[in-house]
Structure 1
Amino acid sequence: MLFFFMTQAITQDLLTIGELARETGASVRSIRHYDEHGLLTSIRASNGYRAFPSAAVTQVRQIQRMIATGFSLADIRAFPDCMRMIEGASSCSETTDAQRKRLASIERQIADLERRRARLRKTLVEGIVPPLD
């Protein structure tokens, strides 16, 4: 009888992948992908389906925020728990360097896109493709 109540308490704290998707707005496919890359912890229920602790809601939301900032799953996996486990977490000192590098990369991409835009505009105005700089 005690085992039954303990099992009930444990399973009540677990979310199905569908519930986790609804809570976070992430797709089921994305959640599977995060789990396969070691960014989430799941267990397999007796039916073989994934089950996630309620803390996974915070983790998925943080992963979504970091992806939206331009980090890859490999980058995120390398971040310490202070960034992955606390919703709305401030930057950790351990991640500042990675964030600066990512910002520099984004700024280089923006500069490259601005050069391409200028070349394309010039092409449209002059009717010929300008030589490379």
Structure 2
Amino acid sequence: MLIGELSERTGVSRRLLRYYEEQGLLESTRSANGYRVYETEAVRTVRHIRAMLDMGLTTQVIAALLPCARGGEDAPLDLEMCPSLVVTIRRELADLDARIDELQRHKGALAAHLA
């Protein structure tokens, strides 16, 4: 399928699809006229990328997790417990906890000025 069809089927802009490809998250081939051509599997891949982005993961982390992603085109994301997956998820959770702690400190400091 061409990039326009992939965009329509996933609701993701052509610009973002090209970005995902630049980041190594999505693959295409080129037709004789230079157009990007995607396999039908790309719909599932894009949906998995979007689900992981919604989890707050970076494209670098997503690249590492994509091989562990399961689920059909319309199925929700399911992550198979690949060897590096548990380590990656624990690291991401620790980073989130640290950011939440920092935001709580900022909130407290700002709230103190209102009191």
TM-score bin (small chain): 0.7 to 0.9
Give the alignment's TM-score, normalised by structure 2: 0.86
In structure 2, what is the equivalent of residue 52 of structure 1? 38
Identity score, percent = 35
75, 81, 84: which one pairs with 1:92? 81
Amino acid corresponding to residue 28 of structure 2 in structure 1: S
Bigger Rg, which one: 1
TM-score (norm 1): 0.75
Structure 2 letter corresponding to 1:121: A
The equivalent position to 1:121 in structure 2, one of 106, 111, 115, is 111
Q: CA deviation at 1:80?
A: 5.4
Structure 2 residue identity aligned to 1:29:
R
2:49 maps to which residue? 63
1:97-112 map, 5 Å: 97-112=87-102
Which runs of at least 4 in structure 1 moved beyond 6 Å after TM superposition?
A: none
Q: In structure 2, do the counterparts of structure 1 residues 56 and 80 end up closer, same or farther at CA, with 3 Å as the change threshold?
A: closer
What secondary structure is seen at the aligned counterpart in 2 of 1:33?
helix
Aligned length: 110
On the 8 A contact 1:35/1:41 being kept in 2, the answer is yes
| C-alpha RMSD of matched pairs (Å) | 1.6
Deviation string, structure 1 residues 55-105 (Cα, Å, up to 9, x no partner): 00000000111111121111121235232x644223423211101110111
Report the residue type matching 2:41 in the other structure. A
Instruction: Please state whether the residue corresponding to 1:30 is helix, strand or coil.
Output: helix
